[in-house]
Amino acid sequence: MECAIQLKHVTKTFGSVVANKDVSLDIYKGEILSLLGENGSGKTTLLNMIAGIYYPDSGEVLMGGQPIEIRSPKDAYAHGIGMIHQHFKLVDVFTATENIALGLDKREKFDLKAVKKKAQAICEKYHFDMDFDQKVYSMSVSQKQTLEIIKVLYRGADILILDEPTAVLTPQETDKLFEVIRNMKKDGKSVIIITHKLHEVLAISDRVCILRKGEYVGEVQTKDADEKVLTEMMVGRKVTLNINRPEPKNPIKRLEVRHLNVKSPDGVAVLKDVSFDAYSGEILGIAGVSGNGQRELLESIAGLQAVEAGGSILYFNEGKETTPMEVVGKNPRIIRNAGIHMSFVPEDRLGMGLVGSMGMIGNMMLKSYDSGKSFLADRTKPKDLAEQIKKELQVVTPDINTPVSRLSGGNVQKVLVGREIAAAPVVLMTAYAVRGLDINTSYTIYDLLNQQKEKGVAVIYVGEDLDVLLALCDKIMVLCSGQVNGIVDARTTTKEEIGLLMTKLKKEETANE
Amino acid sequence: MDSSLIAWIIRAIPFGTIIMYGAMGEIMTEKAGNLNLGVPGIMYLGGFAGFASAFFYENSVADPNKFLCILISLTCCILASMLGGLIFSFLTITLRANQNVTGLALTTFGMGVANFFGVFILNGKSYSAAPLANSAYSAKIPGLSTSFGVVSETLFSYGFLVYVAIVIAVILHLFLNRTRVGLNLRAVGENPATADAAGINVTRYKYLATCVGAGLSGIGGLYYVLDYNRGIWATTGQIEALGWLAVALVIFTTWRPLNAIWGAYLFGTLYWLYQFLPSLLGFTVASYVTDLIQMVPYVVTIIVLIVTSLRKKKENQPPAHLGLAYFREER
């Protein structure tokens, strides 16, 4: 096969961190290539060098056998390379058309109508659905992604790079995206997908290239690969892929949520009549496309969110099973001290729960600064706790005083989850605990959650990856448009069923049962 | 009653023009994501440079020409203001200094420079004048300014910079909303990473927008000294107050140049409220109330801020990346 673009001995460093070391990679015409690797293995950095975001420290990029210089994204476009970044590069207050027109060749006449017409033609060719006068801020994630793809195709890209394209999509939207990718392949374009989701690699790609710690490990033809082979190449050693799922022991009701309604500040109902129970020794999974009320639900239970009148959240503390506490209306600190703990990992990881500019000790102190009788805050216990978390969860940090914002995403999450678990909760709520984490770290977190479950903690796990939800949880509650769209047994349900529940609201009778 | 209403308008429009220049320059700057709080300082620089150059030209040439006087003072004004913008750009874009701090420092710097060099021109007097430049800048349109009675008096009795301001506002509107460069400029202010990925030179756009914006703001200072203040330079803090009013006007307009036209005149009207409203209604007010009434434009700005943030319309919000430095390889 003919090469579309080649990387030869490319190295890139950021300060003392080597992101890519002597990587060589060939990309053929008309193929779908998966670039697989753990977090921080340098996948995005590597392709950012083709896309003109970074420039390699050494090594070269070849096209048609000739070395080319890609100094900026503009150069990349000129060579027919377009990248769809994980964080969309779109201007919120612009329309779709304006976003496409942004940065077009200056020699072309500036005519938004012509741009729109040409973009519509692309839409018809690849069967996209897009309203070109819609402003980006009112679009769904999937629409934004479609717009990004159109933008790249508009510029005549022959090599498309997609960075974790399915991270925010529902299974149905993912299927649609894969359809589009196959259409582009048929059209002779090369598509590179950066991902760490193995089943997607197997479903879509022709060939897989694997990076580990910035170095090129090797390539496999997808038809010869399976999840086990890929994982071993990715991690560099054998790992057990099965998530442990002990049977719940002696479940006791810990939380009873009834008729919970929450309105957003704009008056839009975010949670509608949510009712469910959570039991000790059980992991209750919550599935749903992000932004369907997960955050509000957890925040209501943690006392951070105002709840509409009529809803109730009863909390059955250990030893107080007969005299439940009403959580609604209570101060978050009281709720926390009673044993309900939440760790919410937002998209930027640091947004809630941790202060980026403080070290591990400082972040531990956030939860303990007001305990003890002394006028001065106690620094000894938080320090011990930080040391303990660092050791037990293998947090990679030069020092427990290093600001947590300098740690990698996975380590930040370990600190956050570790702190909440260390407080010996009765109810532990985690949201997106493994967001963006690689397989190894994810499994550490699953193990932690399972340990808590076996200790008799009622765990609520809001997750994104359906495979994990199915393997880890005992029950799965699906939220759709703020409603409980079904609670299913994780041991018997299927991915398709959950996917459907996530996107299609069932009739009223199920919601009101 | 009529005559005092007309007198009110005649005071309000020139006043509005000063802050309209300041605000238009700042809109341009802020659209590129730079929050330049140095507007008062830049207006000082522009006003002083314009005055000083006109003053020297008038006093050193035997037979000074009005047109040349305008050309020289306007050029010096714009160059000095752009220099202010360049200092701000270098500090905030290249060195990535905090924009708020840099802007406030620039205000102090501009005032200081103007007042320091002003000492040499004042030469011990409490004020000094550039009468020729004043007559050039405040020259009315022949014919139009007299032939239609009241209409001429209220609409056509001002110096040319009043009309130029309106024209610039319209051009600025078309530039930002109808041209490729305008689209790119707005993208830089909204989301520089996106603009960068689209192949737009973010640094260049920010530099140019800030410098050109500063040049535009500076004309406000020039207009104040050579027309509004009758060509008189004195060491007062008046320009600073006007500069802040211009910054407030930017928020009031929700970053739209066309709104700056009527917004500026409204601010002018409100500013002179204390002098004309009582006499229109036939009562007198104590002097301490005057200061309170002069506060009205700021109060209106706060109300606009409240209303726009309550309505939560994305289009009325400041550029998303306003006040933040952009660094491509930040991770």
**DSSP symbols for A191-257:** EEEEE--HHHHHHH-SEEEEEETTEEEEEEEGGG--HHHHHHHHHSS----PPP-PPP-S--EEEEE
CA distance B119 to chain A (A): 47
Contact A92 B190 (CB under 8 A): yes
Contacts across the A-B interface (CB distance below 8 Å): 66
Average pLDDT over residues B302-308: 81
Place of tokens 């007042």: B115
Q: Residues of B with CB below 8 A from A14's CB?
A: 329, 331
Hey, are the CB atoms on B200 and A102 less than 8 Å from each other?
A: yes
Distance from CA of A345 to the nearest CA of B (A): 18
Report if residue B176 sits inside a domain. yes
Across the interface, of B196, B312, B314, the residue whose CB is closest to A92 is B314
Under DSSP, is residue A321 helix (H, G, I), strand (E, B) or coil? coil
Tens-place pLDDT, residues A421-470: 787 788 888 888 777 677 777 888 888 888 888 888 888 998 877 888 88
What are the residue ranges spanned by the domains of chain A? 3-235, 253-341+424-512, 356-423
DSSP codes joined into one string, A122-164: HHHHHT----TTSBGGGS-HHHHHHHHHHHHHHTT-SEEEEES
Same fold across A3-235 and A253-341+424-512: yes
Q: How far apart are CA A168 and CA A292, in angstroms?
A: 13
Nearest residue in chain A measured CA to CA from B179: A110
**Amino acid at residue number A104:** L
**Is B198–A85 a contact, with Cβ atoms under 8 angstroms apart?**
no
| 8 Å CB contact between A51 and A194 | no
A253-308 pLDDT, tens digit each:
888 889 989 887 777 788 889 999 989 889 999 988 767 788 888 888 888 888 88
**What is the number of domains present in chain B?**
1
Phi, psi of A493 (to 5 degrees): -80, 170
Domain that holds residue B69: 3-325
CB contact under 8 A, A103 and B331: no
- Per DSSP (E only), the strands in A32-119 are 32-36, 58-63, 66-68, 81-84
Q: Is residue B37 part of a domain?
A: yes
The reported pLDDT for the residue numbered A39 is 66
How far, rounded to the nearest angstrom, does the alpha carbon of residue A132 sit from its chain's CA centroid?
28
Cross-chain Cβ contact A94/B187 below 8 Å: yes
Please judge whether B180 and A110 are an interchain contact, meaning their C-beta atoms are less than 8 angstroms apart: yes
Residue B330 maps to a domain: no
Question: What's the pLDDT at A345?
Answer: 61
State pTM to two decimals: 0.74
Distance CA A24, CA A216 (A): 7
- The pLDDT-based confidence of B42 (bands split at 50, 70, 90) is very high
In single-letter form, the type of residue at position A409 comes to G
And the tokens for B287?
């002097």
Nearest to B183 among A77, A101, A266 (CB): A101
Closest residue to B184, CB basis, from A83, A92, A103: A103
CB A206 within 8 Å of CB A33: yes
Strand A458-462 to A215-221 pairing? unpaired
Answer whether residue B308 shows pLDDT above 70. yes
Which site among A16, A87, A102 would you substitute to test the B interface, given the most B Cβ atoms closer than 10 Å to its Cβ? A102
Chain A residues close to B179, C-beta within 8 Å: 110
- Tell me the backbone φ, ψ of residue A54, rounded to 5 degrees: -115, 165
Q: Which residues of A touch B186 (CB under 8 A)?
A: 91, 94
Please state the separation of Cα A276 from the chain's center in Å. Answer: 25
- Chain B contact for A128 (CB, 8 A cutoff): no
Residue B191 lies in a domain: yes
Q: Which residues pair with A325 in a beta bridge?
A: A315
The share of chain B scoring above pLDDT 90, in percent, equals 51
Q: Give pLDDT, residue A346.
A: 58
Q: Would you say residue B6 has pLDDT above 80?
A: yes
| Phi and psi, residue B191, nearest 5° | -155, 85
Average pLDDT over chain A reads 83
Stretches in chain A below the pLDDT threshold 50: 508-513
- Tokens 């050109």 found at: B212
State the sign of the Cα–Cα–Cα–Cα dihedral A407, A411, A412, A416: negative
**Stretch 311-330 of chain A: residues touching chain B, C-beta under 8 Å:** none
* Conformational region of residue A167, where left means phi above 0, alpha means psi within -120 to 50, and beta covers everything else: alpha
CB atoms within 10 A of CB B125: 9
CB spacing of B180 vs A106 below 8 angstroms: yes
DSSP string, B214-257: HHHHHHHHHHIIIIITTTEEE--SHHHHHHHHHHHHHHHTTT-H
Give the architecture-level CATH label for domain A253-341+424-512.
3-Layer(aba) Sandwich (3.40)
- Residues A76 and A5: their CA atoms lie apart, in Å, by 11
pLDDT tens, residue by residue, B143-165: 777 777 778 888 888 889 999 99
CATH number of A3-235: 3.40.50.300
Residue B206 has pLDDT above 90, yes or no: yes
Look at residue A304 in the predicted model and tell me its pLDDT: 81
CATH classification at residue B48? 1.10.3470
Query: Considering chain A, what percentage of its residues have pLDDT values greater than 90?
Result: 9
Instruction: Please tell me which of the candidates B194, B314, B329 has its beta carbon nearest to residue A137.
Output: B314
Chain B residue with CA closest to A88: the answer is: B194
Rounded to two decimals, the ipTM of the complex is 0.83
